[in-house]
């Protein structure tokens, strides 16, 4: 569904609420030419207590941390961004939505250096269902190993959620879709498993859970952290600082993606190799069900993870 088909009309931009169609920038904006922006993707869930933003504080913390390597000063406090986001959701009567805060170097000069370019900040919210499709949450998806490799942290800060870096994700994801797969898995420069284009990946073997460590050129995903905590609270052993070889994917009992957009999505095939019995595995299912119980507030647990609108 395109934005024109959605019932959204307002964006917050540089301290003001503006009409959706008026949220524009100059064509010579620095961030447009050099990818010099940082962003977040968070979800607000419909709960019995009203709309609730999941792990908003952690998303804001990462936004500001992502700006540091680029010496980008965001001209608004976290409290201002929080109030703006909540009012934006209220103004558009959204019970659940996806939230996209972004900060980027704006228009002033077009040298590679952003010196004297202002930092622009915006927030948009809109309805967005299951990222990889509702059916995928139960049936799982088919993925391929991308021919594109993930950049190393010695080249570009992999712990920053930077706009320009997502050309790597776009190339991997589009390659997968051209070849009939729902999504890709990207290897790092050493040839080990890194992550998906917009997701972290988990492997289940002999009832224990494994996920690549931060040194494997991955983004420190907030849903990744959530799932690690949920799994440990359910009694699982989680190895969250490992290297996973490409071959280990084929012999896994279960695989699943996590992400703010993807939530918890099972993987049923990798390069046409069936994973486990080719369906959502029992460990994935238990973690997924617990995840949705939490975000839909069917339990009082983890209430500190929510910002109520």
Which positions are annotated as active-site residues? 161
Six-digit token string for 43: 């979800």
Residue 257, Cβ neighbours under 10 Å: how many? 32
Q: What are phi and psi of 114, to 5 degrees?
A: -85, 10
State the Cα–Cα distance between residues 32 and 35, nearest whole angstrom: 6
Q: What are phi and psi of 37, to 5 degrees?
A: -145, 160
SS3 248: helix
State the Cα–Cα distance between residues 52 and 243, nearest whole angstrom: 35
Count of alpha carbons within 13 angstroms of residue 52, beta-carbon side: 17
Which DSSP state fits 5?
Answer: G
State the virtual CA torsion across 203, 204, 208, 211 in degrees, nearest 10.
Answer: 10
Six-digit token string for 288: 């997924």
Whether the CB-CB separation of 38 and 161 falls below 8 Å is answered with yes
State the Cα–Cα distance between residues 262 and 276, nearest whole angstrom: 21
């Amino acid at each position: 569904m395109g934005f024109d088909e959605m019932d959204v009309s307002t964006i917050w931009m540089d301290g003001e609420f503006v009409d959706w169609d008026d949220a524009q920038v100059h064509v010579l904006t620095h961030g447009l030419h050099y990818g010099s922006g940082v962003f977040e993707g968070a979800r607000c869930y419909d709960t019995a207590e009203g709309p609730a933003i999941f792990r908003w504080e952690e998303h804001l913390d990462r936004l500001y941390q992502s700006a540091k390597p680029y010496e980008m000063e965001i001209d608004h406090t976290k409290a201002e961004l929080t109030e703006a986001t909540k009012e934006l959701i209220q103004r558009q009567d959204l019970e659940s939505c996806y939230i996209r805060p972004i900060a980027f170097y704006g228009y002033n000069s077009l040298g590679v250096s952003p010196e004297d370019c202002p930092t622009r900040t915006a927030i948009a919210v809109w309805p967005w269902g299951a990222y990889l499709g509702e059916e995928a949450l139960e049936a799982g998806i088919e993925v391929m190993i991308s021919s594109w490799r993930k950049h190393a942290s010695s080249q570009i800060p992999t712990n920053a959620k930077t706009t320009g870096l997502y050309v790597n994700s776009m190339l991997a994801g589009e390659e997968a879709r051209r070849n009939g797969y729902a999504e890709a898995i990207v290897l790092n420069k050493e040839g080990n498993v890194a992550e998906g284009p917009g997701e972290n990946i988990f492997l289940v073997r002999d009832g224990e859970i494994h996920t690549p460590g931060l040194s494997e050129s991955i983004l420190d995903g907030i849903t990744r952290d959530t799932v690690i905590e949920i799994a440990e609270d359910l009694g699982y052993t989680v190895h969250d600082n490992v290297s996973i070889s490409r071959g280990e994917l084929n012999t896994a009992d279960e695989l699943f993606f996590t992400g703010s957009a993807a939530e918890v999505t099972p993987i049923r095939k990798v390069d046409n190799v069936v994973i486990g019995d080719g369906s959502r595995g029992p460990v994935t299912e238990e973690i997924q069900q617990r995840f949705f119980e939490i975000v839909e507030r069917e339990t009082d647990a983890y209430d500190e993870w929510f910002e109520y609108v």
